Structure 1
Amino acid sequence: MNKLRKTLPPLTSLLPFEAAARLESFSKAADELHITQAAISRQIRGLESDLGAKLFIRRNRAVFLTEEGRQLAGVVSAALASISDGAVSLRKSHRKNRVVLLCQLCEAFYWLMPRLAAFQDRYPEIEVQVVTSTRPIAEFNDRFDIALQSTGRANGPHTLVSTAADEVFPVCSPSYFAPSKTLSLEELRSHTLLHYAPTSPDFMTWEDWLQVFGTTIEAHTGTVFDSYPLMLQAAAAGHGIALGWRRTAGKLIQEGALMRPCGESVHLPHAISVYKESGADERIEVDALLGWLQEHLLTWR
């Protein structure tokens, strides 16, 4: 027979008791644990009933530990702290060799995944967990170690490690436009342009891009997409001309699915930012991935 089951007090009452004893206040304990003051009182009464001892003296809406309560508080506090330390140690051990990389969906799909095998070959002992999001990291509530996103997006309290360049230029399918020709900007305006409607101002639109060269177009002439990868696939399918970022459109160009119909390009010296999670511990696994990212982001390969 399990002896602990017969001798331990109700375990659900221990956290409320520890908080109430430490703060000497049922209302403050309720606020800390995000439950009602009535629930704290109920748990304490149940604990006192189980132990057959008074743990608090209630006087003028204030509570004070009895001698028995003070003795139990020391035991419970030490036990809970020991359990907490053990849990923290297990969590760290479980994720010791794992690095969580938060990445924008298009960079993860077109740039990171074709290259990640090279990192795994160099560091086979490190497990990289890739998490994608279309939202800025300031709005990401789960934990991560490293984040990669467009410069200018909200980053919250997280630490900027480095930035990298990119460039933006028109792309289309070879089936849409003969590869032997080159379009002028004036001719470009007469073609079907594919647009990405970004949710944040960091993304360069056709209007922004053409303005660099002193020309304009009518707002959103052509087809508008709410997904950059979908827009690139539409361009590869021959539906028109899109704006491609070299890091994400480059592989499709190398494979022959896309081509550059004109020579103009806009260079962005700080297009991509790399962040570390705010307050994170120093880990050699994280440093290894950071170094690898910086090495590969400095090249156009």
Structure 2
Amino acid sequence: MKSELRALPPLSRLKPFEAAARHENFSVAATELGMTQTAVSKQIVLLEEEMGVPLFERRNRAVFLTDAGRRLGRVVSASLSEIAAEVAVLRGSRRSSELVLHCQLCEAFYWLMPRLARFHERHPGTALRIVTSVNPLTDSPETFDVAIQTSGRASGTARLAFTASDDVFPVCAPSLLPVGKHPLSPDALLAFPLLSHLVIPQDWMEWAEWFENVGTPTPRRPRLIPFDSYPLALQAAVAGQGIALGWRRTTESLIEEGKLIRPCAEFVSRPTEISVFRGIMRNPHPETDKLLSWLTEEFAT
């Protein structure tokens, strides 16, 4: 054991690496640790040299974990979390008994909440706390047991449990179109303002990609109205401000209530659009598997 411990990299390198792996961002890690971005980058380069493998892929002023980096990140994150938990116990504070589910705001509001009563009926003694965000999982300020977000968004060292499908199609308020004038062809949508959720990086489907998938060329300058979150774009569509891209799981209740309609029949099927993750804690909440099992059933229906 002593020889194995001697082979460990210095903690001064593991802490910057863990933070950078969790956020997939050197600058955010530096801010969290009170270091400069240059210092974080230097410690990670030294760690990569010691390991003999690249832990991050650098491209276009962004960093992405390699497979080796993700594997090491999970181990280091879990180990440091376990140390922090034990320190908290020794200091007289313990982890809350709540099961924590981190969820994107729109999925939480439109998809999860209408179904949550079924989970509590099945597991009446489980205290479940929902944490919502419009930001990627790597921006979460607290630990979680299970998380739900759009596939392709930064997830850091979280462990993928399973993926679920979704369909993407245009939606708008019924008042936006004259009675009897739909379904429209995809190119006819270009006559209307297109409500757009633009983020950097663009980590989910946008109008240009949707039109490409349904075989419709888009003009160089379509009439886009940008929003900084999907929930805002969806509410703008409900208010009749234009046509938004909607995801089936988050718009089905609005369509059933008559607040939104599908102005055209075309849609893009995404078989792994939603990802469900486990947290990285070595000692997870004892009822984590119950929540994952329930989510698997709900996504299947």
User: Given the two structures, how large is their TM-score scaled by the length of structure 2?
Assistant: 0.66
2:200 is matched with 199
Pairwise CA distance, 1:126: 0.5
Q: 1:91 aligns with which of 90, 94, 102?
A: 94
1:278 is matched with 280
1:129 is matched with 129
2:155 is matched with 155
Range with bigger deviation, 137-146 or 167-176: 137-146
2:224 is matched with 222
User: Given the two structures, how large is their TM-score scaled by the length of structure 1?
Assistant: 0.66
After superposition, the Cα gap between the structure-2 partners of 1:189 and 1:287, relative to the gap in structure 1 and judged at 3 Å, is same
* Residue-by-residue CA offset, 1:81-102 (whole Å, 9 max, x unaligned): xx9696589725x51xx21001
Q: Is the 8 A contact 2:153 2:204 kept in 1?
A: no
Distance 2:243 2:249 in 1: 17
Q: Secondary structure at the match of 2:191?
A: coil
Q: Is the 8 A contact 2:168 2:268 kept in 1?
A: yes
Distance 2:102 2:179 in 1: 37
After superposition, the Cα gap between the structure-2 partners of 1:140 and 1:285, relative to the gap in structure 1 and judged at 3 Å, is same
Distance 1:89 1:272 in 2: 38
User: Residue type of the partner of 2:264?
Assistant: C
Distance 2:284 2:102 in 1: 18
Distance 1:85 1:234 in 2: 45
Q: 1:252 aligns with which of 251, 254, 270?
A: 254
Distance 1:117 1:179 in 2: 37
Distance 1:187 1:259 in 2: 16
User: Residue type of the partner of 1:91?
Assistant: R
Q: Aligned residues, how many? A: 217
User: Residue type of the partner of 1:287?
Assistant: D
Q: Secondary structure at the match of 1:230?
A: helix
Identity %: 46
Q: Is the 8 A contact 2:190 2:222 kept in 1?
A: no
What is the Cα-based RMSD across aligned positions, in Å? 2.5
Q: Secondary structure at the match of 1:217?
A: coil
Q: Which has the larger radius of gyration?
A: 1
Task: Give the gaps of 5 or more residues in structure 2.
Answer: 1-32, 34-85
After superposition, the Cα gap between the structure-2 partners of 1:274 and 1:99, relative to the gap in structure 1 and judged at 3 Å, is same
